[in-house]
Amino acid sequence: MLDNIDMSNILFLDIETVPQSPKYSELPDKHKSLWDKKAKNISAKEEDTPEKIYDRAGIYAEFGKIICISVAFINGNTLKIKSFYGDDEKIFLKEFIELLERHYNKNNSILCGHNAKEFDLPYLSRRMLINGLKLPSVLDLSGKKPWEICHLDTMQLWKFGDYKSYTSLELLTTIFNIPTPKDDIAGSDVARVYWEENNLERIVTYCQKDVVAVVQLFLRFQGKPLLREENIIINHN
């Protein structure tokens, strides 16, 4: 089935997220109270306090925000990459929506990421609504039948119907001999690099490596050779 997919119709993507505040102590009182309730539900140890596990807030759209979206698409033998990022989430979400509505609004348009169905795509949709933005058609699932939703997920493709475990992108790139995107920082470092080091560019580079890894993994699933580094072009605008 994967062989029948026109790669030019796929927009590969990856997002990076952080907690909305640099520290638990800086949360507004109402948000702090709501995070306290959330923390009770997700704490794994008795010693876990809302403050101690606040670094996890970034994975929840209600308590986090997106700081980078990296996308990639194949044009012939070339992979082109573009990133939308910044401190003002609403601004680059608008730009991302414009891209989707301009180029990925057809029935054969596909969005693809690793664990994207569980994380990236729902998170994007929620943050768009929170920011008062209209969902682009490719993300608006309301009223659609399952076969009308054109989303692919490399993690779910690897599961082959097995729902018992999570398989990380890092593990799959390792076993398929794909250059790792985790050669500088990992997902657990993103909040620290953003809030403490104020180094958004470093996070953007990491996000771009992740989306390249997703493309390479998809090509492996198709039984195709990996893209050469010279055929990967990053748009720095």
Which DSSP state fits 188?
G
pLDDT tens digit sequence for 209-237 = 999 999 999 999 999 999 999 999 988 66
Residue 32 lies in a domain: no
User: What burial class does residue 182 get, using C-beta atoms within 10 Å of its C-beta: 0-12 exposed, 13-18 middle, 19+ buried?
Assistant: middle
Residue 237 lies in a domain: no
Residue 120 or residue 145, greater confidence: 120
Cβ atoms of 127 and 89 within 8 Å: the answer is yes
Cβ atoms of 208 and 234 within 8 Å: the answer is yes
The CATH number of residue 78's host domain is 3.30.420.10
User: Into how many domains does the chain fold?
Assistant: 1
Instruction: Identify the domain containing residue 205 by its residue range.
Output: 2-20+63-225
* pLDDT above 90 as % of the chain: 75
Q: What is the pLDDT of residue 184?
A: 75
Residue 34 or residue 40, greater confidence: 34
Residue 187 lies in a domain: yes
pLDDT at 117 over 80: yes
Residue 52 lies in a domain: no
Residue 147 lies in a domain: yes
pTM of the model as a whole:
0.94
pLDDT at 185 over 90: no
pLDDT at 181 over 90: no
Residue 55 lies in a domain: no
Which DSSP state fits 12?
E
Question: What mean pLDDT value characterizes the chain?
Answer: 92
User: What burial class does residue 132 get, using C-beta atoms within 10 Å of its C-beta: 0-12 exposed, 13-18 middle, 19+ buried?
Assistant: exposed
Q: What is the pLDDT of residue 237?
A: 60
Pairing of strands 151-153, 78-85: unpaired
Tokens of 149: 């939703």
Q: What is the pLDDT of residue 1?
A: 66
Residue 35 lies in a domain: no
78-85: strand order across its sheet: 151-153, 110-113, 10-19, 64-75, 78-85, 232-235
Terminal Cα-to-Cα distance of the chain (whole angstroms): 35
Q: 141, 144, 165: which is closest to 155 by C-alpha? A: 165
Residue 144 lies in a domain: yes
Distance (Å, rounded) from C-alpha 153 to C-alpha 28?
36
Tokens of 72: 């990639």
pLDDT tens digit sequence for 60-108 = 999 999 999 999 999 888 999 999 999 999 999 999 999 999 999 888 8
pLDDT at 23 over 80: yes
Residue 104 or residue 47, greater confidence: 104
